[in-house]
């Protein structure tokens, strides 16, 4: 273990001051960062504990929710406002990890967790995300869990979060504070595609800290859910997951829809092509399948993960059929 210093922040101002030191990392629940430190992938010179910063869930003036970055995943999943108005988010959180980890993990840390690509964790493997310019052994290696959308020659890793997939479909906004002040970033734009710089995973600038996540008001006619296809029933990352919400008029016309896929790309994949295809169409299996195929037409499978294309199509059709049926 590389020696490091430790400081505990009581508010955002203290956190930013402590985090301005060279080599400083912000520490939430530590469920990912501590593992990365043990593996030698991350070697912070200083840890700034922010678990006491931004720990509340509050109603916004517009009728949405402002979720502090320090809120534990278990607490967020159990919040009655989330369960009632944003059920896909609660279900996504409960689909992730184990109860013990959800009790420790924070919202901010969940957003910033890094890929579970085995080559990223293997110091003997070439990984552009870990060592820029070294190559990507996953492309020709065992790549069953890797990306089919938005990948690049430099990286085919996927983002591991369930929560972030739901936040993307909910049009959430990430609140950020830093040396230059406060700003907001749309959740759909917060994570980057790999391109030539897969080591740059988010739009955070040096020294910036996530302070919260804002959810817009839930639409009154919307039905939403989160479904995850994985190798086992618990404590497994998604092969493919889907956060979906849909509003169907009395005549069966789709008034609005939002879809985000997990397990298929370097970031939660907002399925904008499928959404555009569905708006104004009559809800039904044929429309759902055509929309899924339009979204997945750009998929580029690797040797071991071509099954994800068919799995994603079936997941979209099944989930939207169920949601539309609830509104019938």
Structural domain boundaries of the chain? 5-49, 224-327
Pull the structure tokens for residue 209. Answer: 């800290």
Ranges of residues in the chain with a pLDDT under 50 are: none
Mark out the alpha helices in the chain (DSSP H runs). Answer: 12-19, 33-38, 73-78, 80-85, 87-95, 99-104, 107-112, 118-121, 163-169, 187-190, 272-278, 285-296, 307-327
Closest by Cα among 271, 274, 220, 227 to 247: 220
Pull the structure tokens for residue 311. Answer: 């799995």
For the entire predicted model, the pTM comes to 0.97
Pull the structure tokens for residue 323. Answer: 């949601």
Q: pLDDT tens digit string along 236-272?
A: 999 999 999 999 999 999 999 999 999 999 999 999 9
Q: Give the pLDDT score at 1.
A: 66
Residues in the chain: 328
CATH, range 5-49: 3.30.43
Q: pLDDT tens digit string along 67-114?
A: 999 999 999 999 999 999 999 999 999 999 999 999 999 999 999 999
Q: Give the pLDDT score at 143.
A: 98
CATH, range 224-327: 3.30.390.50
Pull the structure tokens for residue 160. Answer: 């591991």
Give the separation between CA 206 and CA 238, rounded to whole angstroms.
30
**Could you give the angle at which helices 307-327 and 285-296 cross, rounded to 10 degrees?**
140
252: left (phi over 0), alpha (psi -120 to 50) or beta: left
Q: Give the pLDDT score at 195.
A: 98
């Amino acid at each position: 273990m590389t020696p490091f210093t430790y400081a505990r922040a009581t508010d955002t101002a203290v956190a930013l001051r402590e985090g301005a030191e060279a080599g400083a990392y912000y520490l939430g629940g530590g469920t990912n960062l501590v593992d990365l430190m043990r593996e030698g992938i991350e070697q912070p010179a200083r840890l700034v504990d922010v678990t006491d910063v931004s720990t509340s869930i509050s109603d916004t003036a517009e009728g949405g929710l402002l979720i502090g970055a320090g809120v534990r995943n278990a607490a967020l999943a159990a919040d009655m406002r989330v369960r009632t108005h944003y059920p896909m988010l609660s279900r996504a959180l409960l689909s992730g990890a184990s109860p013990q980890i959800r009790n420790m993990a924070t919202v901010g840390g969940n957003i910033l967790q890094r890929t579970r690509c085995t080559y990223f964790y293997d110091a003997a493997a070439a990984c552009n995300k870990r060592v820029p310019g070294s190559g990507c052994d996953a492309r020709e290696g065992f790549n069953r869990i890797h990306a089919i959308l938005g990948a690049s020659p430099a990286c085919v890793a996927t983002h591991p979060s369930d929560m972030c997939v739901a936040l993307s479909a909910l049009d959430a906004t990430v609140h950020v504070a830093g040396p230059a002040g406060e700003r907001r970033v749309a959740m759909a734009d917060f994570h980057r595609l790999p391109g030539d710089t897969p080591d740059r995973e988010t739009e955070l600038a040096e020294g910036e800290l996530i302070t919260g996540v804002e959810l817009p008001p839930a639409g009154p006619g919307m039905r939403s859910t989160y479904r995850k296809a994985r190798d086992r029933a618990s404590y497994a990352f998604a092969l493919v997951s889907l956060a979906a919400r849909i509003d169907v008029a009395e005549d069966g016309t789709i008034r609005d829809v939002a879809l985000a896929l997990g397990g298929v790309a370097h970031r939660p994949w907002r399925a904008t092509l499928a959404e555009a295809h569905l708006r104004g169409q009559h809800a039904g299996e044929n429309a759902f399948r055509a929309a899924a195929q339009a979204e997945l037409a750009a998929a580029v499978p690797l040797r071991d993960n071509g099954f994800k294309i068919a799995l994603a199509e079936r997941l979209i059709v099944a989930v939207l059929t169920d949601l539309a049926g609830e509104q019938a």
